[in-house]
Amino acid sequence: MLTMNYTYRIYPDVTQQTELLEWLETCRGVYNYALRELKDWIASRKCPVDRCSLEKEYIILADKPVPSYHRQQNNLPKAKKLIPRLGEVHSQVLQTTIRRLHDTWEAFQKRGLGFPRFKKFGQFKSFVFPQFKNNPINGLTIKLPKIGEVPINLHRPIPDGFQVKQVRVLSKVRGTQWYVVVTIESDVSVPDAPVHGRAIGIDLGLERFLTAADGSFQERPKFFRSMQRKLKLLQRKAAKKKKRSKNWEKAQVAVARMHHRIANRRKDFHLKTAHKLCDQAQTIFAEDLNGKGLTRGMLRKDCVDAAFGQFLSLTEWVCWKRGVYFAKVNPNGTSQTCPSCLATVSKGLEIREHQCPECGYRTHRDHAAAEMVLHRGLENVVAQGLWGKETACQVGLSGVYDLDKWRGAGISKSDLGKPAP
């Protein structure tokens, strides 16, 4: 079973936009009420058996069951009789809102962190239509239940053999831009791409966004840094407006549009770079970076601007779509190890050139790290037994002959010659 998501821009009219915003606020209220019930039930079970707090205590009967997803979902028809506004929203949209809360709660129980939070005004930005009997997309419009037909920019058609399973309506730029995330499904099964063709390793950095093992590199565009001055002026204008006034809302929309533009430019660069890598090689190895740790260091603003985590996720998706093998390797010590003789060469972050005292190999620091990523990726491929398969893809994988000589024949890596710059 193959499932994919396609994102399209939609253009609802003024009446439809007002209705969509009201739906979002209704879903936000249902989400917060269900979360309040869950938190009250949990708080009532924290009291010790032999004593209670003198200040306050949640008292809920001991025989009252936990407010699970099915119980809260079954209470929706009763709530609609008390609150007629709930009946204006599609019933399955409210059900998926409660499902969203309990998915977050179950994820919290597994991780041990990330307790569900109450949604403030404007923080609830999407809702889901979970199923459709017929294809809702008809040429230039998409038919949403209780909303009607909405113009859509169908920049790419739904592939043959796929059916629309669900549609998520998404609000961006403070409710001024609307999108739909269409989930399509087919019975076909796509096998994972095997190890084949030319292999490269890539190293990500701030001086150079990407450096490949073959010596090519890609400069890092500074998306946020280049627009920071304009963004600062817009934020300064917004801060001077009276809060919740019309001029304040217009200023906030201008700030949101600037952030949206920066994010779009960054994502476009990531996708184009990923496709460029797939044009150059059929097997790609990358570092398994700790994205959360990079955002806590001294260079956190530049790391967030580069968005290495998003780039790796998009590259993995592009590789799967184009039949390119993609794998991540351990990033520890890739810049501190000589790719020629595997000797440890310690160097600080300010040293941008790799020069090995053992074998004399000299190259750019990021290039040496990319070569080390390639070596580790090929080692993992051999260790997992993927390289021993009798496939046509096995012939011509760059670097494997040298790796086999180094690993199997007992020849030192330095005797194989310096890697090509």
pLDDT in tens, 267-307: 999 999 999 999 999 999 999 998 888 888 888 999 999 99
Token digits for 273? 């770079």
Q: How far apart are CA 117 and CA 105, in angstroms?
A: 10
Nearest Cα neighbor of 288 from 362, 353, 373 is 373
Q: How far apart are CA 119 and CA 122, in angstroms?
A: 8
Same domain, 296 and 221: yes
Same domain, 341 and 411: yes
Q: How far apart are CA 408 and CA 209, in angstroms?
A: 35
**pLDDT for res 60:** 80
pLDDT of residue 246 exceeding 90: yes
Same domain, 172 and 311: no
Could you identify the residue written with the tokens 């059916």? 163
Residue 332 lies in a domain: yes
- The last residue of one of the domains, among 145, 162, 186, is 186
**pLDDT for res 392:** 38
Same domain, 175 and 250: no
**pLDDT for res 413:** 37
Residue 193 lies in a domain: no
**pLDDT for res 166:** 96
**pLDDT for res 59:** 76
Asked whether the beta carbons of 174 and 250 are under 8 A apart, the reply is no
**pLDDT for res 387:** 61
pLDDT of residue 248 exceeding 60: yes
pLDDT of residue 405 exceeding 70: no
Residue 56 lies in a domain: no
Nearest Cα neighbor of 225 from 118, 120, 303 is 303
Asked whether the beta carbons of 210 and 218 are under 8 A apart, the reply is yes
Same domain, 231 and 148: no
Residue 54 lies in a domain: no
Residue 328 lies in a domain: yes
pLDDT digits (tens, 9 = 90+) for 115-131: 999 999 999 999 999 99
| 10-17: average pLDDT | 97
Q: Secondary structure of the chain in the HEC alphabet? A: CEEEEEEEEECCCHHHHHHHHHHHHHHHHHHHHHHHHHHHHHHHCCCCCCCCCCCCCCCCCCCCCCCCHHHHHHCHHHHHHHCHHHHHCCHHHHHHHHHHHHHHHHHHHHHCCCCCCCCCCCCCCEEEECCCCCCCEECCEEEECCCEEEEEECCCCCCCCCEEEEEEEEEECCCCEEEEEEEEEECCCCCCCCCCCCEEEEEECCCEEEEECCCCEEECCCHHHHHHHHHHHHHHHHHCCCCCCHHHHHHHHHHHHHHHHHHHHHHHHHHHHHHHHHHHCCEEEEECCCHHHHCCCCCHHHHHHHCHHHHHHHHHHHHHHHCCEEEEECCCCCCCECCCCCCECCCCCCCCEEECCCCCCEEEHHHHHHHHHHHHHHHHHHHCCHHHCCCHHHCCCCCHHHHHHHHHCCCCHHHHCCCCC
Same domain, 397 and 256: yes
pLDDT of residue 257 exceeding 60: yes
How many other CB atoms sit within 10 Å of the CB of residue 272? 12
* pTM, two decimal places: 0.85
Nearest Cα neighbor of 286 from 195, 362, 213 is 213
Residue 194 lies in a domain: no
Residue 338 lies in a domain: yes
pLDDT of residue 375 exceeding 80: yes
Provide the greatest CA pair distance for the chain: 81
pLDDT tier for residue 76 given thresholds of 50, 70 and 90: very high
Same domain, 168 and 207: no
Residue 362 lies in a domain: yes
pLDDT of residue 239 exceeding 80: yes
**pLDDT for res 404:** 39
pLDDT of residue 155 exceeding 90: yes
**pLDDT for res 398:** 35
Q: Is 385 exposed, middle or buried (0-12, 13-18, 19+ CB in 10 A)?
A: exposed
- The last residue of one of the domains, among 186, 215, 243, is 186
Residue 67 phi, psi dihedral angles, 5° rounding: -70, 85
**pLDDT for res 397:** 39
Domain coverage including residue 89: 2-44+63-186
Q: How far apart are CA 265 and CA 275, in angstroms?
A: 16
Same domain, 110 and 250: no
**pLDDT for res 1:** 82
Beta bridge partners, 328, equal 286
Q: How far apart are CA 192 and CA 320, in angstroms?
A: 7
Same domain, 347 and 239: yes
**pLDDT for res 273:** 96
Number of domains in the chain: 2
Could you identify the residue written with the tokens 């009997």? 133
**pLDDT for res 44:** 84
pLDDT digits (tens, 9 = 90+) for 172-201: 999 999 999 999 999 988 888 899 889 999
- The last residue of one of the domains, among 127, 161, 186, is 186
Share of the chain above pLDDT 90, in %: 68
Same domain, 182 and 209: no
Same domain, 207 and 154: no
Query: Mean pLDDT lowest for which of 14-18, 26-30, 104-108, 385-389?
Result: 385-389
Same domain, 37 and 173: yes
Query: Mean pLDDT lowest for which of 27-36, 80-89, 252-261, 289-298?
Result: 289-298
